[in-house]
Structure 1
């Protein structure tokens, strides 16, 4: 009788509760206030590393482990969102303009391999050393040149740390203008009276850096790199926050990834934290995976070949999953994965399908007005908990990226009266989709340039 009764109970549970079990597998029950990606109790937290760096995790010399933090201080929540999303749109537009074929058919004169995209959304920084000078620098997968502000500075923006002083370093060597190193970097060189290899780089938001290329010793965590080519910027302006400069992680030969290929094997990975404050992620250079803490196995997809001279990383998306519903793309859709763009952008036909399906599955909650580029918003102010449909991206070869719940909804108002789907549409079907950093949170994202692949694994991002 006991076995029969247990069997009957199991039958009842299966018949009456199957829908709920199935739903729970494809939904996430989350407290509304946990969706906020900033800690409102820490609005005035320090915007620097000096008092908040944690004890480094050890890593071999063939790899480097660095703390990755966010540098934005949202002193005014509404202004913070407006500034961030408008700047994000400027960066996305800048990227789209660079990806149009005519751009890559123009000769490049006295510029690094590609002009830069808009910078203001680049808010993840690491701490590195140039010679013996420690300084925070912005991380960008969409740039090639690594540069810092240098003395003597003709025009420099205000930064937190002292300027790098080449005259105080015995390992600083400017690249001669008439050298093969200079001519191999630039498409055209006209030295004239110049003795050093000069550069001038303007970004899509009007930010710029000008100076000379030089060789120097840099330290990345416990790893040291000799003879690294970087930009010694003596005239710089724009929206760089507290950072001393920028480190380029793009695919071109001038990037840090390419210059350190012998040491780090062309591999780097990052794990972006889910919150702005009181949390850190990490950037790992090298193929050693012992520091990874991914909860799911890494799954890789092929890097697509991008336009000539482009530093960008392209992938092929084959489907988007909303809850249980998989929206397939028979021919796939080329997308760019970017550390500097915030909000993911899809071609209109795909975005509309994703939005409509999300609305269908999130239908029990009241909608509210759109916010800037985010057109699908809800009023969740009367709810303590909500059931959020799971969201995932599928790539060529079967790799999947399950978006963390912190990357599905964008919290505009702190009282939850305006919470939006954290995705938007491109202007037309000819655009290139972008996977933004908001959707990459709590993911181990691995860029293997030698193997020409990108890997994804779920990971609770930290530096401890």
Structure 2
């Protein structure tokens, strides 16, 4: 049914055997928050305050990388910054398989990671994937339609497809498009499953503002090169879902492909996906925000497809007009007995002093083209994307 989706506005306390997959059985994979104690990048010295502030700045940076307008003189970006995502997926690439830990990202399409030999790559904590050691790796010619799906593409010296991406902070990635076998540990059945001929990018020139805590990106966007677009037909349905746990959880989150996960759930609500450029992003229509029964509305001409749901962004960012309505309503709701901090810690815009600590609104304002629903507001929701029906559905869940 269609209904209202309610998200909590949060104030935070600042201080191998293998087999091919049988159709329709579905695929379930662990998602690990990069700051979780289960993560290979866990840093026990980082407290909650450090994490939240860093996540806020990453969310702002990620918002600035989104390109919502068709390319004109300069091609639009095709990849998300690898250090902008929070949830990690473990995959195996090639035969024999090489383990790769990458960001699961609904804000990008292409599957890519750093490859060797590479003299122009950023440092990462694990060895690079070497396509020459995989006997199932094949280059894609630049005349194929697959190459032309990319906004930035060209022909290499041997007529291979060369992909490229550029970012506002002068970071960039450039490499060769190919196909290879990609494998996953299917936690639903406790075995490794293989997917042959998956399109992926081997990055050989990756410079700029990248971090060592990730080997690449698993694109889950709506474009033709994303993982769900490439494997959805094997399940008979282009559908995936996830249920995200908070960063300090001792359990892993799950992402599922080709499985109906919303059956018989209470308080299930479904909202249409809106088709807009680029097809990578999942656009929804934010109709209102309610505070103590008071409805806050976006501008009348900014209601259809005005928010992107994005697993790679941590915090939700709202268009400034709506954000400041929300800020005012929260201040009025809390009451005159509690005065907001005059100089809240950056980049937050609404905080209250509580003894020695601060309580801050876990949303940010933006003047960019769209609002973004980040993963912090998606925690403990089962979120299901049905690309055949073009809908996204939400249901509260304990993620078990």
Superposition TM-score tier, normalisation by shorter sequence: 0.7 to 0.9
Partner of 2:313: 341
Cα deviation per residue 1:119-176 (whole Å; 9 max; x = unaligned)? 4331211111112122211011111110122222222333333322222222111112
1:351 to 323, 327, 330: 323
Partner of 1:197: 161
**Would you say 1:115 and 2:78 are equivalent positions?**
yes
Partner of 1:452: 390
2:111 to 121, 125, 146: 146
Partner of 2:32: 69
Cα deviation per residue 1:230-273 (whole Å; 9 max; x = unaligned)? 00122323424422211111111111121123124221111121
SS of the residue 2:142 aligns to: coil
1:239 to 190, 210, 232: 210
Partner of 2:350: 376
Contact 1:139–1:249 (CA under 8 A) maintained in structure 2: yes
Partner of 1:45: none
Cα deviation per residue 1:80-120 (whole Å; 9 max; x = unaligned)? 4443322321211222xx12x3x434474xxxx74334443
Residues in 1 aligned to 2:316 and 2:154: alpha-carbon distance in whole angstroms = 41
Q: Which runs of 5+ in 1 are unaligned?
A: 1-25, 41-57, 382-414
Residues in 2 aligned to 1:177 and 1:91: alpha-carbon distance in whole angstroms = 30
Cα 1:431/1:193, change in 2 over 3 Å: closer
2:54 to 74, 83, 87: 83
Partner of 1:224: 194
Cα deviation per residue 1:272-314 (whole Å; 9 max; x = unaligned)? 212335342111122332xx6996343110111112x441111
| Cα RMSD after superposing both structures | 3.1
Pick the structure with more helix per residue. Answer: 1
Cα 1:179/1:431, change in 2 over 3 Å: closer
Cα 1:166/1:74, change in 2 over 3 Å: same
Partner of 1:404: none
Contact 2:13–2:359 (CA under 8 A) maintained in structure 1: no
Partner of 2:40: none
Partner of 1:367: 340
SS of the residue 2:155 aligns to: coil
**Would you say 1:301 and 2:266 are equivalent positions?**
no
Contact 1:301–1:315 (CA under 8 A) maintained in structure 2: yes
TM-score with structure 1 setting the length: 0.70
Cα 1:83/1:59, change in 2 over 3 Å: farther
Contact 2:24–2:258 (CA under 8 A) maintained in structure 1: no
Contact 1:129–1:220 (CA under 8 A) maintained in structure 2: yes
Matches within 5 A, 1:141-220: 141-182=106-147, 184-186=148-150, 191=155, 193-220=157-184
Partner of 1:10: none
The worse-fitting range, judged by mean Cα deviation, of 313-322 and 81-90 is 81-90
Cα 1:242/1:123, change in 2 over 3 Å: same
Cα deviation per residue 1:174-231 (whole Å; 9 max; x = unaligned)? 112344543x334686536333222222344444322211111111333421110100
The worse-fitting range, judged by mean Cα deviation, of 336-345 and 58-67 is 58-67
Partner of 2:38: none
Residues in 2 aligned to 1:366 and 1:107: alpha-carbon distance in whole angstroms = 47
SS of the residue 1:104 aligns to: coil
Residues in 1 aligned to 2:53 and 2:202: alpha-carbon distance in whole angstroms = 33
Matches within 5 A, 1:257-336: 257-264=228-235, 265-289=237-261, 296-307=266-277, 309-328=278-297, 331=300, 332=303, 334-336=306-308
Residues in 1 aligned to 2:219 and 2:138: alpha-carbon distance in whole angstroms = 20
Cα 1:449/1:205, change in 2 over 3 Å: farther
Residues in 2 aligned to 1:146 and 1:267: alpha-carbon distance in whole angstroms = 18
2:225 to 251, 254, 257: 254
SS of the residue 1:455 aligns to: strand
Residues in 2 aligned to 1:74 and 1:424: alpha-carbon distance in whole angstroms = 27
Aligned residues: 365
